Amino acid sequence: MTQLNTPYPSTAYLTGFLRSRGVEAVQEDLALALVLKLLSSTGLKCIFEQIEVNPNSSPVVSKFCEQFDNYYATIDRVIAFLQGRDPTLAHRINSRMFLPEGARFDALNVYEDEDDGDSLGWAFGSLGVQDRARHYATLYLSDLADVLREAVDPRFEFVRYAESLAASQPTFDPLAEALSAPMNLVDRTLQDLTLAAITRHQPNLVLVSVPFPGNVYAAFRIAQTIKSKDPGIITLLGGGFVNTELREISEPRVFDYFDYITLDDGERPLLALLEHLRGERPREQLVRTFVRGNEATTNCIGAVHYVNHPEPDVPFAEVGTPIWDGLPIDQYLSTLDMLNPMHRLWSDGRWNKLTVAHGCYWKKCSFCDVTLDYIGRYDGVAASTLVDRIETIIQETGQTGFHFVDEAAPPKALKAMAQELLRRNVTVSWWGNIRFEKSFTPELCELLAESGCIAISGGLEVASDRLLKLMKKGVSVDQVARVTRAFTDVGILVHAYLMYGFPTQTVQDTVDALEYVRQLFEEGCIQSGFFHRFTCTVHSPVGKNPEEYGIQLVPLSEVSFAKNDIDFIDPTGVNHDSLGVGLNKALYNFMHGVGLDADIRSWFEDNVPRSKVRRDYIARALCDQ
């Protein structure tokens, strides 16, 4: 599972591409189908019956059983509301008398207003009826997810389901053990949905996309079901997780589930595989494909082999337009789990996901997987072609919201797209990720706003020119202040990605970074942000050349399955985890206008520098502007 509010775009891209090449292709979103099946009156009844057979004494489950009749009576209406089919239900939800409330609602007490008792009035105001109700309804679903986790499957999550079985997991053993265990209610539900899809479409080749570690377990359960139903159906695994973590896979057992595994963009490997399956190409000429050996092709029976016949990738201009046919776009759930204004864009509303270009035009950041194809191979497209795709998608979906999922959308391409949108008088609302570089002048920001840009996110990372240089970000702290202010001045929401724990980052660096962020909020340059703990990966410049960053890598154990994150020893010896709580607590308050006048050191419990914090960042930058 990835998001409940909108489909992940990989299947839409591949379906559109394959159809453009004359291949009959259909797509299914079994993740959404699974959630809708479990979170229904029928699904809740099955959960309740399982609890009766296997009693569970946890407070979460006990409270669910006590309030089961209320859950059973409300679940279908809540789902309809979150799908946009019953908006007037918001008034009953907001009464706090309609929905049963579990432990997730306790979080509302954090915001309790002692004067009027309105726990969310500060966030939504008196007119935010729909927003407030979506937040309550999302807490209600989160309560039910907790019940599923306590009573049915301890690995259950709406996002990151059973993630620990796959993420940087050196061996296949944990996943193999989970797949051989008796199926629980979630597994059986997914199995039924998979069998129904196979019966409905009668495929001879099934592609399963796994963008993240939290998709892997279900992907293997899907393949397991397909193979048990009809071993002759060919299964193929691909997606972001594969491209990142399975590049050195040598585990033969994986191929009991999937006949082929492909790396990087799927278009060229798929064309080669289809030709091979039609008898038009030998297996030795597959492209970026893992296979398990057999007597006909190798002396090493059962070993995993990587076949990569050199062929150019399909140009980005020729991959075609994503097709949403087969994806039930009217059934996705518009949830509102976090009050962070940028994070709500991820979960609230259905967005047409699209890319401005392939790869990253900068591809230098030392913490990023710049050596991988999805970042390292930059390939643009004419603005006219991009807007053609936008218009085609609007015509198909009837929706004008676009999320550009580029690692960093290039300013030159965004400018050309904005001009073409305005020239054609195409009305859209769009947002995406950028670099805070000097090309984003006030004039360009105004143009982007006129074309429909509502929000941007970008990597601020740390408030240290030394560390930014080490990261090879290509920006300075002053430049970030000027660019973010330019976006804010034209009404575009700005979200800053922030980082702590980068090699050689000191406690003073971290305190200074938070002070810089405080000033950005205080001056209205940014409205949203999130601190990420730095993770070293084997595909990043830090992971490949640790000595250049003053660290020593911890040797990995023997890897036959997934390989990505890698531990390291930093000579500074800073306990960055102890600083993370203070950073995120401060940031949460800053986003709500709270604590902006407090000494920045007060957010940390102890061990923070007593030296003077710098307060000249923003003033200097904005005076220069």
Residue 112 has a pLDDT of 47
The closest of 268, 257, 255, 252 to 218, measured between CA atoms, is: 257
The average pLDDT across 5-9 equals: 90
Q: Cβ distance 92 to 140 under 8 Å?
A: no
- Is residue 114's pLDDT more than 50? no
Region for 159 from its dihedrals, namely left if φ exceeds 0, alpha if ψ lies in -120 to 50, beta otherwise: beta
Whole-prediction pTM = 0.92
Confidence of residue 110 (pLDDT cuts 50, 70, 90): low
| Torsion-angle region of 445 (φ positive above 0: left; ψ -120 to 50: alpha; else: beta) | alpha
pLDDT higher than threshold 50 for residue 261: yes
pLDDT at position 304: 96
Higher pLDDT, 108 or 71: 71
Across residues 367-388, what is the average pLDDT? 95
Give the mean model confidence (pLDDT) for residues 366-388: 95
Q: What per-residue confidence (pLDDT) applies to 39?
A: 97
Domains of the chain: 10-27+163-317 (no CATH), 34-151 (no CATH), 351-624 (3.80.30.20)
Q: Which residues contact 347 (CB under 8 A, 6 or more apart)?
A: 3, 4, 5, 138, 334, 335, 336, 337, 338
Q: In terms of DSSP bridges, do strands 352-354 and 568-569 run parallel, antiparallel, or are they unpaired?
A: unpaired
| Residue 484 scores a pLDDT above 80 | yes
The candidate with the shortest Cα–Cα distance to 9, out of 288, 322, 321, is 322
Residues in the chain: 625
Percent of the chain at pLDDT exceeding 90: 78
> Element (H or E) spanning 484, and its range?
helix 477-489
pLDDT of residue 517: 93
Neighbours of 192 (CB within 10 A): 14
Helices (H), 341-382: 343-347, 373-376
Query: Does position 462 have pLDDT exceeding 90, yes or no?
Result: no
Is residue 567 over pLDDT 70? yes
Measured CA to CA in angstroms, residue 83 lies from 58, 79, 96, 146, 490 at distances of: 31, 6, 20, 21, 32
Show the DSSP H helices in 152-209 as ranges: 173-180, 185-201
10-14, 318-322, 390-394, 609-613: segment of lowest average pLDDT:
609-613
Question: For the residues of 584-611, what is the DSSP string, one character each?
Answer: HHHHHHHHTT-STTS-GGGGSSS----S
Backbone φ, ψ for residue 434 (5° rounding): -135, 175
DSSP string, 422-449: HHHT---EEEEEE---TT--HHHHHHHH
Closest alpha carbon to 328 in 193, 146, 129: 193
Whole-number pLDDT of residue 127 = 47
Q: Which two tokens stand for residue 576?
A: 């960055």
Give me Rg for the CA atoms of the chain: 25
> Is the model more confident about 619 or about 523?
523
* Interatomic CA distance for residues 59 and 55, integer angstroms: 12
Sign of CA dihedral 131, 133, 137, 139: positive
pLDDT above 50 for 201:
yes
Would the pLDDT of 530 be above 60?
yes
Planar angle of CA 136, 184, 32, nearest 5 degrees? 45
3-class SS letters over 197-215: HHHHHCCCEEEEECCCHHH
Interacting residues of 268 by C-beta distance below 8 A, sequence separation 6+: 287, 288, 311, 312, 313, 314
User: Rounded mean pLDDT of the chain?
Assistant: 91
Q: Check residues 374 and 113 and name the one with the higher pLDDT.
A: 374
- Residue pair 257/220 in contact (Cβ under 8 Å)? The answer is yes
Average pLDDT of the residues in 93-114: 81
Determine the Cα–Cα distance for residues 379 and 418; give it in Å rounded to an integer: 19
Compare 354 and 614 and report the one with higher pLDDT.
Answer: 354
Give pLDDT, residue 610.
60
